[in-house]
Structures are given as structure tokens and as C-alpha cells.
Amino acid sequence: MTRLSVNINKVATLRNARGENVPDVVRFAIDCERFGAQGITVHPRPDERHITRADVYALRPVVKTEFNIEGYPSDDFMRMVCEVRPAQVTLVPDAPSAVTSNAGWDVIANAAFLKDICSRLSDAGIRSSIFVDADPAQVRKAAEVGANRVELYTKPYADNYFTDRESAVKPFVEASQEAADAGLGLNAGHDLNLSNLAYFYRRLPHLDEVSIGHAIISDALYLGIEQTIARYLLCLRP
């Protein structure tokens, strides 16, 4: 079964626009789980422009499914996640000023650094996932540095889906097979939506989890969050 993890960053962005607690991020996470989401994802950035450190600590005791924290493994970030101990930490190479994640790690060039980070997460009992492009060499190196999973950066697939979906998904199929051969779990995320998710899911039989935020929150403006989660779960049904 491929699990759906809802990224709630955009909910925090809306809340922060008024400086109050509407919408309530913690309440929203609880409702997402109640409506069928199998995980909650957050990405606390250093400037706290959406999810804050306080949110991370507030969410930890209430998230009953999988809690996934994304971020660049700075010293501050690593201290926080080792205190909070979520089920999973997804390591991204974003600079602090990045608007959103826009590329995977060059794991080969950063092997020593990432090996140390994965070891620290393992010692804390946290599953590690490295955000990578659909490149078998990078996937293979992620296994060598001790990651438990990789998350495939799926924007190139989404950008080319309507032009030639078979060509768009081919590199991801190859990368997913490399992950399976290396004994890695497989996640995916970025620009997956109701139009392109079902096909992606059908072509990647080893897919453990998708993390989706922007599209889910955007769809929820029209459909409501309960109906939106139901439709995404249908895309992940065999």
C-alpha cells in the first residue's frame, strides 16, 4: 500500500498571514488523519515563514499516523528532530532562501556529510529519507551512505506528464527499481496532483509513500479537505 502524507505547510502560511491561530495547524493535522491521511509532513524553514519550530513540538504528541519532518540538516534542525523523534526525517538540500524544494541532493558529492547525518538519525531511532532526482546513481549512493529511503523529486514528471507521460515517468521507474534492488524504501513528492498521481502510482509498484501539500490544499479550497483526501486516496487504490 502506498501511503498518503499530507504536507500542511500551506495551512501555516495562511495562518501566519494574520499572526493569529486561524486556521489551527494542529487541528487541521488531526482532521487530515481523521479523513484518512496516513501521514503528516512539515518542513520548518529557518525563517519560519510557514511551519514554526513551536508547531513541530505541538504536532508531535497529536499526530497518530506517520510524522515526517523535512529540512536541510543544519545543526539546529538536527537538534530539533533528535528531540522530537518523528517517524521519518526527509533530508533536502534547500538553501534557507529557497521558496520550495527544486532539486535533489548530489549524494555522490555530499556522501561523507550525509553518511554522518543518516548515522545520527539511525542512532535516534528515526528513519532517514534522502530527497533525490530520478537518477539511479544517486539512488545507489543513498543506500551506500546509510539512508533508509529516498524521496524522488517528481516535478520533472509533473511538468512533462501531459506532453508524453510514458517518457515522463520512465526515469522514475528506473530509479524506483534501483531503490528496490538496493534495499531502499521509496517515497515521492513535488507537484503530484489529482491529474498525474494515479498513473505515477500504477507505474511504480515499489512506492511506499507520496508527500503532497500544495495541490491538496489548493484542491481543498474547492472540494473541502475531507473530499480532497478521499480523491487522493482513490488515486492510490490498486
Hey, what's the cell of 24? 489551527
> Are 148 and 207 a contacting pair, CB within 8 Å?
no
Would you call 214 a catalytic residue per the annotation?
Answer: no
Element (H, E) at 125: none
DSSP state of 207: -
Pairwise CA distance, residues 16 & 12, whole Å: 6
Q: Which of 43, 50, 66, 151 is catalytic?
A: 43
Distance separating alpha carbons of residues 113 and 2, to the nearest angstrom: 30
Catalytic residue, from 33, 66, 70, 209: name it: 70
Nearest Cα residue to 10 out of 195, 228, 231, 169: 228
Single out the catalytic residue among 33, 50, 66, 190: 190
**The C-alpha cell that represents 75 in the structure block:** 545543526
Distance from C-alpha of 2 to C-alpha of 21, rounded to nearest angstrom:
32
Is 69 in a helix, a strand, or coil?
strand
Would residue 83 show up in a list of annotated catalytic residues for this protein? no
In this structure, the strands spanning 3-7 and 149-153 are unpaired
Please confirm, yes or no, whether 43 is among the known catalytic residues: yes
Rg of the chain's alpha carbons, rounded to an integer? 17
| Catalytic sites, residue numbers | 43, 70, 190
